[in-house]
Amino acid sequence: MKPECAYIALGANLGDARAALSWAWAQLQRLGPARASSLYRTAPIDAQGPDFLNAVVELHIDWAPQTLLTHLLHLEAEQGRERPFRHAPRTLDLDLLAVGQQTVVTPSLQLPHPRLHLRAFVLQPLLELAPALTLPGIGRVAAYSADVAEQAIECLGPFTAPD
């Protein structure tokens, strides 16, 4: 399988969110060439709880999307991720947004992610990495920027993994 560009959204709002995201970023770097967006702070959407820290990672990998998703779920579990209810606060959330131009529709995975263009906490860091990104079923991702302009998001600066 030829390496493709995968985009992964990282988020956390429980415990030491910055440490959890840095740990996840370090784990993802072990899988292949990668780069990260800046780190952002956002209020929860459709939920209660502390603010989230968010970023997006671009990862070049030759894994099948389902294999990558399984690995992401394993990383979440290592950080104590629980799913007591929809939109629950979380120690680590890793969402697979897209893998190349692949379209996947299964009970456990939809690619491109069906809501990636509706949330500033995904859209802004994604566009920082790939401003000209076009995805099947979504089109030119940057075209949705105005749609999320009312969502509060604060850039905290560069996102780096621990040494």
Q: Is the peptide bond before 112 cis (omega within 30 degrees of 0)?
A: yes
Which one is catalytic: 18, 35, 51, 95? 95
Sign of torsion over alpha carbons 105, 69, 26, 29: negative
| List of E strands, the chain | 4-12, 34-36, 39-42, 52-61, 93-99, 104-105, 110-111, 134-135, 139-140, 153-157
Q: Are 49 and 91 in contact (CB under 8 A)?
A: no
* Catalytic residue, candidates 41, 46, 62, 81: 81
Indicate which residue of 41, 46, 62, 93 is catalytic: 93
147 is catalytic: no
Instruction: Please tell me the distance from the alpha carbon of residue 49 to that of residue 89, in angstroms, as a whole number.
Output: 6
Is 46 an active-site residue? Answer: no
Is 86 noted as a catalytic residue in this protein? no
Q: Which of 90, 119, 140, 163 is catalytic?
A: 90
Active site amino acids: 81, 90, 93, 95
